[in-house]
């Protein structure tokens, strides 16, 4: 199974490739920037998923994504944008362009594993998606599909940030603050109709919890967000 990694920063590219390699047996193809990646794709490369940096010379991540989405044989390939930017405008731009995922630097293995599990069905724990039908969520919130995608992507970024923050809190045994953060994430799951994800977080809010338990639950929640996003796009 081929995975294309696109980044003009060689260190970031190597780190991401290492994390992908740690998730399973993949044939990892690298490209030094968007132009190099597009040349390889035009030459016949057909990856199962693409991880691509957002800001690059010659051809940016957004521009490469636009090329991919208008190419008949590549249009449906999962495309994960990678960036240090977390502002709302950047996330919305990625969503509108058709990104199927968004990873914030510095990388965390849980983020990468969640994307591979969601898109390539490699979830080690046999994840099953339990969530409200996207059409019901749209009606309940009174919003359009593109707005729901923005909410889901924003929530994904919130979960990514929460992973490192919760780890710090638990290492310092700040259980009360950790529970309060988890309750906020639980509320987010309920609001977005992610019933299974909400259930995954619920046990963590009762009594003491561990870094391992939190990271495992957050991986499932991120996977749920990604799967729900793909359902919204299909709808």
What strands lie across the sheet with 49-53, from one edge to the other?
Answer: 27-31, 2-6, 49-53, 79-83, 101-104
The pLDDT value given to residue 76: 80
Query: Residue 97's closest CA among 48, 143, 145, 64?
Result: 64
Q: How many CB atoms lie within 10 A of CB 33?
A: 21
pLDDT tens digits, residue range 185-234? 999 999 999 999 999 899 888 878 888 888 888 878 888 888 888 788 77
What is the value of pTM for the model shown? 0.65
- pLDDT higher than threshold 50 for residue 122: no
Q: What is the mean pLDDT of the chain?
A: 85
The pLDDT value given to residue 127: 55
CATH architecture of 2-120: 3-Layer(aba) Sandwich (3.40)
Domain ranges of the chain: 2-120, 134-234
Runs of H (alpha helix) within 22-69: 34-42, 61-69
- Which of 29-33, 77-81, 125-129, 226-230 has the least mean pLDDT? 125-129
225 preceded by a cis bond (ω within 30 of 0): no
- pLDDT higher than threshold 50 for residue 124: no
The pLDDT value given to residue 117: 67
Q: How many CB atoms lie within 10 A of CB 98?
A: 17
The pLDDT value given to residue 87: 67
3-state helix, strand, coil in the chain (%, to 5): 60, 10, 30
The pLDDT value given to residue 125: 46
pLDDT tens digits, residue range 58-103? 899 999 999 999 888 888 888 988 888 766 677 777 777 778 778 8
């Amino acid at each position: 199974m081929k995975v294309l990694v696109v980044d003009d920063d060689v260190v970031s590219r190597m780190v991401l490739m290492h994390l992908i390699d740690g998730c399973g047996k993949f044939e990892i193809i690298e490209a030094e920037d968007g132009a190099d990646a597009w040349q390889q794709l035009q030459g016949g490369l057909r990856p199962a998923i693409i991880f691509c940096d957002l800001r690059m010379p010659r051809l940016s991540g957004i521009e490469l994504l636009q090329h991919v989405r208008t190419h008949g044989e590549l249009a449906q390939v999962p495309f994960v944008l990678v960036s240090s930017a977390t502002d709302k405008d950047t996330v919305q731009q990625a969503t509108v362009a058709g990104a199927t995922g968004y990873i914030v630097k510095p990388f965390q293995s849980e983020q990468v594993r969640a994307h591979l599990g969601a898109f390539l069905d490699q979830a080690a724990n046999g994840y099953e998606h339990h969530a409200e039908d996207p059409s019901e969520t749209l009606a309940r919130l009174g919003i359009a599909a593109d707005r729901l995608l923005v909410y889901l992507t924003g929530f994904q970024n919130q979960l990514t940030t929460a992973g490192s923050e919760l780890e710090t809190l638990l290492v310092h045994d700040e259980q009360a603050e950790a529970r309060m953060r988890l309750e906020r994430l639980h509320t987010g799951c309920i609001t977005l109709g992610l019933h299974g994800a909400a259930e995954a977080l619920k046990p963590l809010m009762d009594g003491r919890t561990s870094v391992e338990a939190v990271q495992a639950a957050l991986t499932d929640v991120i996977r749920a967000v990604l799967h729900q996003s793909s359902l919204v796009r299909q709808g």
